Amino acid sequence: MLDDQHFDDTPEEGDYELDRETFGPVRRALEAEDAPALHALLDPLHAADIADLVEQLPEDDREVFVRLYGAEFDGEVLSELDEGLREDVVDAMEPSVLAEAVRELETDDVVDLIEDLDAPQTAAILQALDDDDRVVVEQSLTYPEDSAGRLMQRELVVAPDHWNVGQTIDFLRAQDDLPEQFYHVILVDPRMRPTGYVTLGRLMGSAREIAMTEITEDSFRSIPVLQDEGEVAYAFNQYHLISAPVVDADERLVGVITIDDAMAILDEEHEEDILRLAGVGEESSLSDKIVDTTKRRFPWLAVNLVTSILASLVIAQFDEVIAQFVALAVLMPIVASMGGNAGTQSLTVAVRAIATKDLTSANLWRVIRREAAVGLVNGVIFAVVMGVVGVIWFGTPLLGVVIGVAMVVNLVIAGLAGVIIPVVLERLDIDPALASGAFVTTVTDVVGFFAFLGLAAMMLI
C-alpha cells in the first residue's frame, strides 16, 4: 500500500537543470586541473546535462574541460551540444578521443554532428568510424540537408511479413548486433518494401503461432526519404508515431526515424519560429560570438529603421497640427504601441497556426473575421478608457473622441494585418515567421499615426 512517503521525492520545478551545487565544484575542479574530481562530478550526470555545463563555461575553461575529460568523453555530449559550440569542442579534442567518442553514436547522430562542421573536422570524424558505419554516414550525407534521409538511422529490426511471432522472437534472440534501442519490428515483403510494424509489447505478449500480420499497428506510415524534416516531425506529432520506416523512390526500406529525432526537429522548428519572429536569426544562441550575433541582428534592425522612417514621414505630414496641439505628441505613442502589441498577438497566433497546419484555406476567413472582431471589441474598450483619460488629462472632449476612434481603427487593422500578412507571405513562399513582423509593425504604425493625426486635423482645427 502506498503512503505519503512515496511522494516526497516527486521532482519539483528546477530539478531537471544544473544548479550551483554542480556548476561550482566543476569550475573548481577545472581551476585545479583535477581530472579525477571532474570525472567523479560528471559520472552521475546525463549527457544533456554535461552539454549544458559545457555551454555555460567560459571559452578557456571549455578547453581545459575537454583536455581533463580526456578518453572518457561521451559521444552523446557532442550530439547534445549547441551547434555553435560543436566545432570548438571538436577542435579541442585529441584525434584518438574523438574517434572513440563518435564510435559510440548511432549513424543519425553522427550525421547530425558532422553536417555543420568544416571539411577537415568532417574528414577526421569519418576516418574515426568503422568502415560499415562510414559508408552509411556518407550515404546519408548525399541526401538534402533538411530531408528524412539525413534524419533517419540505419540501425533497425526487420522481419519477413510471412513470419509468425515465434519465428520473429527466435530470430531476435539469435542476433548479436541488435540496435541498443528500438520500438518496432518492421515487416517487409520479398522486395524489402515495408508492409507494417509490430511493437515489442505486442510481440512479447502474443502466442508464438500468431502471424505477425495479425498484430500490426494501425499507426503504420512510411516516410519518403526526400521528405522535408519539418513534415516528418509534423507527421510524428499528428499521428502519435513512435518510429516510422523510411523508403526510397521504389518504396524499399532504407532506414527508420525514431520519435526522439522527430521531436528534436519539432523543437527546432518552434525555436526557429520564435527567433525569426524576433528578427535575431534562426541559429542564434547564448554561446554565439559578438561578431556573429551582430551580423544576424543588423539586417532586421536596418529594416526596422526604414519602416520607422516611413512612419515618421506620415507624422511629418501633420507637423502643423502637432504644433497647435502638443497633446497629440504625448498621445501618439499610445496609439502606435497598442496597435503594435495587438498586431504581434495576432501575428504570433497566425504564424504558429500556419506552421502546425491549423490555419488553412478552409478556415481562413473565419479566423480573419474573428481577429477583426477581437480587435473591434478591444478597441472599443480601450477607446472608452483613453477617451476618458484624454478628457481628464487635457480637458478637451474632442481629443478624447479622436484618440478613441483612432484606437478602434488601429486595433481592428492590427488584428487583420496579423493574420493576412503571414498568410500572403506563405502563399508567396516567403517564411512568414521571418518577414511578417516588419510588415505588421509598419502597417500598425502608419495606420495608427495617420488615423490619429488625420482625425485630429479634421476635428480639432
The cell numbers describing 355, all together, are: 506552421
The cell numbers describing 142, all together, are: 548525399
53 pLDDT above the threshold of 60: yes
The cell numbers describing 55, all together, are: 555551454
- pLDDT, tens digit, for every residue of 149-197? 998 988 899 999 999 999 999 999 999 888 888 899 999 999 999 999 9
Q: What is the pLDDT of residue 193?
A: 96
Cα 65-28-90 angle, rounded to 5 deg:
10
- pLDDT, tens digit, for every residue of 342-361? 888 888 888 888 877 888 88
Q: What is the pLDDT of residue 141?
A: 87
What SS3 class is residue 127?
helix
Report phi then psi at 50, rounded to 5. Answer: -65, -40
- pLDDT, tens digit, for every residue of 428-455? 888 787 667 778 888 888 998 888 898 8
The dihedral through the CA atoms of 24, 25, 28, 33 has a sign that is negative
What SS3 class is residue 208?
coil
Q: What is the pLDDT of residue 392?
A: 85
Residue type, 287: S
Give the separation between CA 372 and CA 15, rounded to whole angstroms: 43
Q: CB pairs under 8 A, 24+ apart, for 45-50?
A: 47/74, 47/76, 47/77, 47/79, 47/80, 48/76, 48/80, 49/18, 49/22, 50/74, 50/77, 50/80
In the predicted model, what is the mean pLDDT of residues 70-92? 80
2 pLDDT above the threshold of 50: no
pLDDT band at 276 (very low <50, low <70, confident <90, very high): low
Q: What is the pLDDT of residue 164?
A: 96
